[in-house]
Amino acid sequence: MGKISAQITENNLTQPTIKSKTKIKSDVPLIQSLIRDKWLYILLLPGLVYFVVFKYLPMWGIVIAFQDYSPFTGVLGSKWVGFDNFIDFFKNPDFFRLLKNTAIFAVLNLVFFFPAPIILSILLNELRVDSYKRVVQTFIYVPHFMSWVIIASITYIFFTTSGGIVNDIVSQIYGKKIDFLSSPDWFRPLIMLQIIWKETGWGTVIFLAALTSVDKEQYEAAIVDGAGRFRRLWHVTLPAIRSTIIVMLILQLGRFLDTGFQQIYLMSNSLNRGVADVFDTYVYFVGITQGAYSYSTAVGLFKSIIGVILVLGSNKLAKKMGEEGIF
């Protein structure tokens, strides 16, 4: 991400770092250092308590995945069952359904959503009039800041069979209405439509940043060499964002299992649940609505572990390909 970092140093929030020359000795005894920096530790305390209570206590709470947890007996009083919850999950037909749905969303994302911001930022970059470029940018960033509830509400308002604009038009052309919102066939296209509409504009930010770092002289040199518009695109523009594309692609692979909970939860209903359910929504329905705490924690833990492996693996892959990783 060298190109991006270069951009950041130009206009970021931070001031230039001034490195302190005095090296702090690390062999100050613990007590002495606690006394010397007591105010710093007091400042640190609220944040530390936050991390312990809301991040590390739940991590310890994962033990209930290996128990038959009951809210009445608590974590300490519940019966240990080993890997039973996991075995139940792997034997359950739901497991393959969740895996399949998640994999389909991940592939659709990669094929339809991932290239969209790249293409859009190249088009924006080709725009000669800067003021018009800014106007377009102002428009395309808007949906990103809307909550998923707003996005889902808008989708419902437009696609509903009772007075939705899309269905009014469909019935005028086609003769009858299509039940987009509860038909399993339309669930995935709608999800893709939403995510492309909401995030494509915003996704251009990182690629446009990479593109601004391209030296104008490179384009001029290419013109002198007789390169046409598309050759310039191929030989100057694309190589400039190549490393950004690779890093974003790898990040995407690392987030393979992270299908947006809010989006899918809001768009799913009893009729399309078969194709809608992914790991997170399943954990919610089984855990919170049905109260199967231990079983759903096991499902969540399975997802987290695979997630960590994917992130670390993709990070390693990035480094192998000569790119900077995220860690």
Partner 1 sequence: MSSLKMHNTRGGRIFDAFNVGILTIIGIIMILPFLYIIAGSFATEAELTRRNFFIWPETFTLSAYKYIFSTATFSRSILVSIGVTLVGTLVCLFFTFTMAYPLSRKKLLGRNLFMNMIVFSMLFSGGMIPTYIVVKSLGLLDSYWSLILPGAINPFNLIIVKTFFQGIPNELEEAAKIDGCTEMGIFWRIILPLSKPVLATFALFYAVGIWNDFFHALLYISDNTKWPVQVLLQQIIILSQGNLTDTAAQGAAYVEPPAQSLKLAVVVVATLPILIVYPFLQKHFAKGMLLGSVKG
Q: Under rule CB under 8 A, which residues in 227-256 are in contact with partner 1? A: 228-229
C-beta neighbour count of 28 within 10 angstroms? 12
Give the x/- contact pattern for partner 1 in 63-82, rule: CB under 8 A: -x------x-----------
Question: Shortest gap between Cβ of 55 and partner 1 (angstroms)?
Answer: 4
Question: Which candidate, 313, 114, 272, places its Cα nearest to that of 196?
Answer: 114
Q: Rounded to whole angstroms, how far apart are CA atoms 175 and 178?
A: 10
Q: Give CA separation, 221 vs 44, 107, 240, in Å.
A: 54, 39, 15
Q: Give CA separation, 57 vs 44, 51, 306, in Å.
A: 18, 8, 21
For the packed helices 165-174 and 148-159, what is the interaxial angle rounded to 10 degrees?
Answer: 30
The smaller minimum CB distance to partner 1, of residues 107 and 115, is found at 115
- Kindly give, in sequence order, each residue whose CB lies less than 8 Å from that of residue 149, ignoring residues fewer than 6 positions away: 262, 266
Among 2, 58, 77, 313, binds partner 1 (CB under 8 A): 58
The smaller minimum CB distance to partner 1, of residues 189 and 228, is found at 228
The smaller minimum CB distance to partner 1, of residues 43 and 111, is found at 43
Q: Under rule CB under 8 A, which residues in 282-311 are in contact with partner 1? A: 283-284, 287-288, 293, 296-297, 300-301, 303-304, 308, 311
Q: Under rule CB under 8 A, which residues in 83-122 are in contact with partner 1? A: 120
Q: Rounded to whole angstroms, how far apart are CA atoms 139 and 125?
A: 16
Q: Could you tell me the maximum CA-CA distance found in the chain, to the nearest angstrom?
A: 82
Question: Shortest gap between Cβ of 141 and partner 1 (angstroms)?
Answer: 6
Question: Shortest gap between Cβ of 168 and partner 1 (angstroms)?
Answer: 5
Q: Rounded to whole angstroms, how far apart are CA atoms 144 and 232?
A: 31
C-alpha torsion 208→212→216→218, nearest 10: -70
Q: Does 257 bind partner 1 (CB under 8 A)?
A: no
Q: Give CA separation, 165 vs 89, 156, 162, 170, in Å.
A: 42, 10, 9, 9
The smaller minimum CB distance to partner 1, of residues 110 and 326, is found at 326
Among 90, 132, 174, 234, binds partner 1 (CB under 8 A): 132
Give the x/- contact pattern for partner 1 in 258-277, rule: CB under 8 A: ---xx--xx-----------
Among 81, 104, 154, 310, binds partner 1 (CB under 8 A): 154
Strands (E), the chain: 67-68, 79-80
Among 83, 90, 96, 139, binds partner 1 (CB under 8 A): 139
The smaller minimum CB distance to partner 1, of residues 47 and 82, is found at 47
Q: Under rule CB under 8 A, which residues in 183-222 are in contact with partner 1? A: 197, 201, 205-206, 209, 219-220
Among 87, 103, 107, 165, binds partner 1 (CB under 8 A): 165
